[in-house]
Amino acid sequence: MAPSTQFELPQPPTDAVSSLVFSPDSSHRLLVSSWDRHVYLYQLTEGEGDNANLLNKYEHRAPVLDVCFGDASNNDAYTAGMDRQVKKIDLISGEQTVLSKHSEPVRCVVYSSAHNLLISASWDNTLHVHKLSEPGSDPLVIPLPGKPHALSSSPTKLVVAMTARLVHIYDLPTLAAATSPPAPWQTRESSLKFLTRAVACMPNDAGYATSSIEGRVAVEWFEDTPESQARKYAFKCHRQAAPEEEGGGDIVYPVNALAFHPVYGTFASGGGDGTVALWDAEAKRRMRQYQKFPEAVASLGFSGDGKYLAIGVCPGFETGMEDYTGQGRTRVFVRELGETEAKGKGTK
Q: What is the DSSP string of 101-162?
A: E-SS-EEEEEEETTTTEEEEEETTTEEEEEETTSTTPPPEEEE-SS-EEEEEE-SSEEEEEE
Helix (H) or strand (E) run with residue 229 in it: helix 226-230
Confidence of residue 48 (pLDDT cuts 50, 70, 90): low
Residue-wise pLDDT tens digits, 247-286? 778 889 999 999 999 999 999 999 999 999 999 998 899 9
> Cβ neighbours of residue 212 under 8 Å, at least 6 residues apart?
190, 192, 193, 194, 195, 196, 197, 254, 255
Q: How far apart are CA 310 and CA 295, in angstroms?
A: 15
Q: Is 22 exposed, middle or buried (0-12, 13-18, 19+ CB in 10 A)?
A: buried
Q: How far apart are CA 87 and CA 54, in angstroms?
A: 21
Mean pLDDT in the chain?
Answer: 93
| pLDDT score at 47 | 63
Cα 164 to Cα 140, 188, 190, distances in angstroms: 24, 11, 9
Confidence of residue 50 (pLDDT cuts 50, 70, 90): low
Residue-wise pLDDT tens digits, 206-239? 999 999 999 999 999 999 889 988 899 999 999 9
Statement: residue 311 has pLDDT above 70: yes
> Cβ neighbours of residue 237 under 8 Å, at least 6 residues apart?
215, 216, 217, 255, 269, 271, 277, 286
**pTM of the complete model:** 0.94
Q: How far apart are CA 209 and CA 218, in angstroms?
A: 6
**Dihedral-angle region of residue 219 (phi above 0 means left; psi in -120 to 50 means alpha; beta otherwise):** beta
Identify which of 25, 103, 39 has the alpha carbon closest to the alpha carbon of residue 77. 39
In degrees and rounded to multiples of 5, residue 226 shows phi and psi of: -55, -40
